[in-house]
Amino acid sequence: MDLTTTYLGLKLRTPLVPAASPLSEEIDNLKRMEDAGASAVVLYSLFEEQLRQDRLELNHYMESGTFSFAEALTYFPEPEEYHLGPEDYLKHIANAKKSVKIPIIASLNGSSPGGWTQYAKLVQQAGADALELNIYYIPTNMNLPAGEVEQTYLDVLKAVKAEITIPVAVKLSPFFTNFANMAKRMNETGADGLVLFNRFYQPDIDLDTLEVKPNILLSTPMAMRVPLRWIAILYGRLKCSLAATSGIHRASDVLKMLMAGADVTMLCSTLIRHGVGQISVIERELVAWMEEHEYESVTQLKGSLSQKNCPAPSAFERAQYMRAISTYSVP
């Protein structure tokens, strides 16, 4: 069975790639992922904002309350050096490269124009095979037109592409007025791949404390419907690779995504829930299904039910159930 696929120009053994998650913080986990059959791995994200926040916070607490009281002029020893930059992350990339043979895709969330490019360069220098830009931005300013928001995404991508030579994927949210147009412009700006979609932390209300508490829920298979739709729509219309993420838990989900047109399927919640070994389970089931249904390769599957290739293309555009549509078309 030929499971190989190409993603961001990388030739991969299978379409099964662990998505960015805390699982990739441990080198041992990366080894386990490789052993379980992961064909590449996206590392957890380097958050520029987090680094920035950490630096300000550390400075605040080191200075807070100092030189106020004669007996306690300070409260903490002052270390000779701090690891406040991305060094740990870069070291992790290098260690990952040393420890596993599969491609390592770094993930970056920048917060300043300089930050995106600076960190992207460092990530490349550290040996990453590709970079996933984890761009998310929730505009709440009522005076900010959508066009400007979209341009910000494109500017980031453009700046990063100008600085590095490794392939760049962009992980996006579906919240654009015309996502297809956005995807097209991303493609034109040089994205080597699109990762659909990012699942943010979403706010929740705690009824006991009456507080708003952002949290993340592990995905359910339901979550795969949105990327499924858009991958199917985009398949064959863009040059860049397409990665499916969100709600992919079983081999059947992988199959659906591949049929819609994904080059790779990214796994996260299922690995957190069932362990890294789940990758091999999915692969086994995938092979079994393909064998049972006499498919030869992933290539054969890919896009076979995309909007372009499916029997009812309008199904991917439908937003409401309309009884009439299947029996009658307006002349």
Partner 1 sequence: MSTRPKLTVDANEGVANVAYRLNEVMAIYPITPSSPMAEFCDQWVSEGKKNLWGTIPSVVALQSEGGAVGSVHGALQTGSLATTFTASQGLLLMIPNMFKIAGELAPAVFHVTARAIATHALSIFGDHSDIMACRSTGWGMLGSASVQEAVDFALIAQAATLRSRIPFVHFFDGFRTSHEVQKIEMLTDADLRALIDDKLIAGLRARAMSPDRPVLRGTAQNPDAFFQGREACNTFYTACPQIVQDAMDQFAKVVGRAYKLFDYVGAPDAERVIVLMGSGCEAAHETVDYLVKKGEKVGVLKVRLYRPFDACKFVEALPVGVKSIAVLDRTKEPGATGEPLYQDAVTALAEALMNGFGKLKTMPKIVGGRYGLSSKEFTPAMVKAVFDNLKQKQPKNHFTVGITDDVSHTSLPVDPEFSTEPDNVIRAMFYGLGADGTVGANKNSIKIIGEGTDNYAQGYFVYDSKKSGSMTVSHLRFGPEPIRSTYLVSRANFVACHLPMFLEKFDMAKPLVPGGTFLLNTPYAKDEVWAKLPTPLQKSLIAKKAKFYVIDATKVARDSGMGGRINTIMQVCFFALSGVLPRDKAIESIKYSIKKTYGKKGEEVVAMNLKAVDNTLEHLHEVPVPKNANGSGGLLPPVTPNAPQFVKDVLGKLTAGEGDDLPVSAFPVDGTFPTATAQYEKRNLALDIPVWDEKICIQCLKCVAICPHATIRAKVYESAALKGAPAAFKSTAARVPEFKGMSFTLQIAAEDCTGCALCVDVCPVRNKTEAKLKAINMRPQAPLRAQERENWNFFITLPEFDRRKLKVTQLRQQQFMRPLFEFSGACSGCGETPYIKMLSQLFGDRAVIANATGCSSIYGGNLPTTPYCVDKGGRGPTWNNSLFEDAAEFGLGFRVSIDKQKEFAAELVKKLAPQLGDDLVNGIVNAGQTDEAGIYEQRERVAALKQKLAKLDSPEVKLLLPIADMLAKKSVWILGGDGWAYDIGYGGLDHVLASGRDVNVLVLDTEVYSNTGGQMSKSTPRGAVAKFAAGGKPMGKKDLGLIAMTYGNIYVASVAMGAKDEQTLRAFVEAESYPGPSLIIAYSHCIAHGIALDMGVGARQQKLAVESGQWLLYRYDPRRTEVGENPLQLDSQAAKTKVQDYLLSENRFKMLTKSKPEEAKKLFAQAQVDADRRWKFYQYLSGRDLKSGAAPAAPSKPSATADQQP
Interface contacts to partner 1, rule CB under 8 A? 51-52, 54-85, 88, 209-211
What is the rounded CA–CA span in Å between residue 294 and residue 281? 20
Cβ proximity to partner 1: between 79 and 147 the closer is 79
Pairing of strands 10-12, 130-134: unpaired
Closest approach of partner 1 to the CB of residue 203, in Å: 13
Cβ proximity to partner 1: between 65 and 313 the closer is 65
Token representation of residue 266: 């990214």
Q: Which residues contact 7 (CB under 8 A, 6 or more apart)?
A: 15, 17, 40, 193, 241, 243, 263, 264
Cβ proximity to partner 1: between 56 and 146 the closer is 56
Paired strand residues for 131: 106, 168
Closest approach of partner 1 to the CB of residue 134, in Å: 21
Closest approach of partner 1 to the CB of residue 23, in Å: 16
Closest approach of partner 1 to the CB of residue 309, in Å: 48
Cβ proximity to partner 1: between 18 and 86 the closer is 86
Cβ proximity to partner 1: between 68 and 329 the closer is 68
Looking at the chain, how many residues does it have? Answer: 331
Closest approach of partner 1 to the CB of residue 89, in Å: 11
Asked if the peptide bond before residue 197 counts as cis, ω within 30 degrees of 0, the response is yes
Closest approach of partner 1 to the CB of residue 229, in Å: 37
Cβ proximity to partner 1: between 143 and 209 the closer is 209
